Amino acid sequence: MGTTIYYFTGTGNSLKVAKDLSDALDEVRLVQISKNNIEDIDSDLSEKIGIVFPVYFLGLPTIVKSFLEKLQINKNAYIFAVATFGSGSGISIKQIENILNKKGAKLSASFGIAMPGSYQVMYPPYSEEKQQQLFKKEEEEILKIAAIIKNNQVVGKNGNLIVNTIWGFIYKSFKPNDKDENFWTDEKCNGCGTCSKICPANNIKIIEGKPKWQHNCELCVACMQWCPQQSIQYKKNTVKRGRYHHPDIKVMELFQNHRD
């Protein structure tokens, strides 16, 4: 049945990694993890299954965790995970292992790829020089990862138990759903609806020409980063900060077929 790679992305980093990995492997099916398909994908009989995702608050995005808990898989499949991050994978790999173990499956390989940080709620975008350095490194890492997957090698590590415990407490404090109350639009908003179309959580509705967040947020900040007018702000933190999304990803690749 070949290989299926499931990916979750907000600003395009994880989609870029998933696409590059797909190009380096054979017979790959790419499937986005979003609110719109999480109920439709309930089983996967692929021989190899990959999960590519960004690390949020030291762990899995809540939608990725929910998706994996629901997904029924071939227990004998070679399963690999690729975390993209600005500072580290945290407990995300351990979380995946725990979910798979409950299904009678196991994680065969895990990897981490540093990408430009996209959480401009807390910090400005990386410099162009730093971004290019990371992009070049990503290309090199993809080739190494693809070789490992092709050969069905078992690689990865769980990290330190004490550190994982501390990170676990931090992750549990991460409750993104209602944090969207801090988003707002300035006078540049023209009601184009891009934010609603790309939101993977189906969390934004355009009401009277303006976006309204529905409190099911993942804090992926895709809405803020892809806004063509740079109109979407988070508190006052982002007013004078730039924006970032992966330059090789087009906004149309993130558009969702939303359901009411």
* Rounded distance between C-alpha atoms, residue 162 and residue 232, angstroms: 39
Higher pLDDT, 173 or 90: 90
What is the pLDDT, as a whole number, of residue 156?
A: 80
Residues 148 and 28 in one domain: yes
Q: Of the candidates 140, 171, 202, which is a domain's last residue?
A: 171
In a domain, 23, yes or no: yes
Q: Of the candidates 146, 171, 196, which is a domain's last residue?
A: 171
Residues 44 and 158 in one domain: yes
Task: Write the pLDDT tens digit of every residue in 215-254.
Answer: 999 999 999 999 999 999 999 999 999 999 999 999 999 9
Residues 65 and 150 in one domain: yes
What is the pLDDT, as a whole number, of residue 153?
A: 96
Residues 217 and 156 in one domain: no
- Residue 193, pLDDT above cutoff 90: yes
Task: Write the pLDDT tens digit of every residue in 92-102.
Answer: 999 999 999 99
Query: For the chain, what's the residue count?
Result: 260
Residues 43 and 163 in one domain: yes
Say if CB 167 and CB 59 are below 8 A apart: yes
Cβ atoms within 10 Å of 107's Cβ, excluding its own = 21
In a domain, 260, yes or no: no
Give Cβ neighbours of residue 248 (< 8 Å, ≥ 6 apart). Answer: 12, 16
Residues 119 and 55 in one domain: yes
Residue 231 burial class via C-beta count within 10 angstroms: exposed 0-12, middle 13-18, buried 19 and up: buried
What is the pLDDT, as a whole number, of residue 164?
A: 61
Mean pLDDT across 124-128: 97
What is the pLDDT, as a whole number, of residue 178?
A: 77
For residue 199, give the CATH number of its domain.
3.30.70.20
In the chain, the number of structural domains is 2
Among 230, 255, 227, residue whose Cα is nearest residue 241: 230
Mean pLDDT across 14-19: 98
Mean pLDDT across 7-19: 98
Higher pLDDT, 42 or 185: 185
Mean pLDDT across 127-136: 98
Residues 165 and 181 in one domain: no
Residues 202 and 149 in one domain: no
What is the pLDDT, as a whole number, of residue 201?
A: 95
Per-residue pLDDT band at 58 (split at 50, 70, 90): confident
Domain limits for position 119: 3-171
* Rounded distance between C-alpha atoms, residue 55 and residue 128, angstroms: 22
Q: Of the candidates 145, 171, 197, which is a domain's last residue?
A: 171
Q: Which of 39-43, 176-180, 198-202 has the lowest mean pLDDT?
A: 39-43
